[in-house]
Structure 1
Amino acid sequence: MTISLQEIEQRMSRFEAVCRNSGVKLTHQRIEIFREVAQTGDHPDAERIFQGVRQRIPTVSLDTVYRTLWLLNDLGLITTLGPPRERTRFDANLNHHHHFVCVQCGLTSDFYSDALDGLKPPEAVKAFGHVKTTSVEVRGICIECSAKGES
């Protein structure tokens, strides 16, 4: 999924405002780590973010990337996806949306659906606690994997 330059600029502006309002320093490394997440629509994991940032800042460490990603998550600038036992993926799209996940290659793409947005959690969920947000994760085989004949 391609992210428009306007959307990236909006995300970067929000990032800067939230950091300033929270008293978080806008370091070069934090800016580049957030930019790496904000400019992609395919929900990269920390390792892929590290590889992308390292092309621009060769001295950045994987530890710095992880610490920054969790800081950004705590500030509400990104969210995490996927089960906690698998590699965590990060998403800078805070608009209400859903995900398609390819079970073969791991491709994760955003999609929007008024029908899914209207789904209400079942009453049984109240036994676990109060629902803050919902999203649907659809799992299947992406077009590229299908074309390769992977099933």
Structure 2
Amino acid sequence: MPGTVNIPGEILAALEEALKAAGLRLTHQRLEIYRELVAACDHPSAETLHQRLRKRIPTLSLDTVYRTLATLAEQGLINRVETLESQARFEATSRRHHHLICRKCGKIADFQWPDIDSAALPQEISEWGRIDLKNVVIHGICRNCLEGEEK
């Protein structure tokens, strides 16, 4: 199918196994939503994913996209990127990273920060309970928007 991303067998098997463990099947819609996220570099919203996928799956509802994204995030298969906008954005990645978000255009860029990843947490946070994830989100204005302001 044109525009379809090939998912490596081990990732597809992990997707299928995680859904099966949650008592869910790997449906055509779930697979296509996941494939679209694997191919995306722009951290799309549910609405953006829906628009892209309607070209391949005309009967796909926005509700199905929202429910599938919630399921995939709950199973740890995708990440939900919290933004200052009202719309959450999503990504499918296994590589540890953080995010830069432009307050003006909304573009999200990934970056790695090994020092933060390996840093010990302050004692009061360590005593809070179990920490599952450390994630840094930096908000600012990207170079393109800054250059646009100067013109």
Task: Could you tell me which runs of 5 or more consecutive residues in structure 1 were left unpaired when the two chains were aligned.
Answer: none
Range that drifts further, 60-69 or 127-136: 127-136
Q: Which residue of 2 aligns with 1:78?
A: 78
- Distance (whole Å) between structure 2 residues aligned to residue 83 and residue 108 of structure 1: 9
Q: Is the 8 A contact 1:80 1:91 kept in 2?
A: yes
Task: Could you tell me which runs of 5 or more consecutive residues in structure 2 were left unpaired when the two chains were aligned.
Answer: none
Range that drifts further, 49-58 or 116-125: 116-125
Q: Which residue of 2 aligns with 1:139?
A: 139
Per-residue CA distance 1:4-57 (angstroms, 9 max, x = gap) = x78x53644532343345442221111111111111132111111111111211
- Distance (whole Å) between structure 1 residues aligned to residue 143 and residue 85 of structure 2: 27
Q: Which residue of 1 aligns with 2:15?
A: 15
Q: Which residue of 2 aligns with 1:41?
A: 41
How many residues end up aligned between the 2 structures?
145
Change (3 A) 1:80 1:53: same
Alignment of 1:107-118 (within 5 A): 107-118=107-118
Following superposition, the deviation at residue 83 of structure 1 comes to: 5.5
Change (3 A) 1:85 1:124: farther
Q: Which residue of 2 aligns with 1:59?
A: 59
Range that drifts further, 12-21 or 110-119: 12-21
Query: Percent same amino acid at aligned positions?
Result: 39
Change (3 A) 1:115 1:105: same
Q: Is the 8 A contact 1:50 1:61 kept in 2?
A: yes
Per-residue CA distance 1:95-150 (angstroms, 9 max, x = gap) = 22111111111111211121221233322324654321101112221222122127
Q: How well do the aligned residues superpose, as a CA RMSD in angstroms?
A: 2.5
Following superposition, the deviation at residue 85 of structure 1 comes to: 7.9
Alignment of 1:90-109 (within 5 A): 90-109=90-109
Q: Is the 8 A contact 1:97 1:111 kept in 2?
A: yes
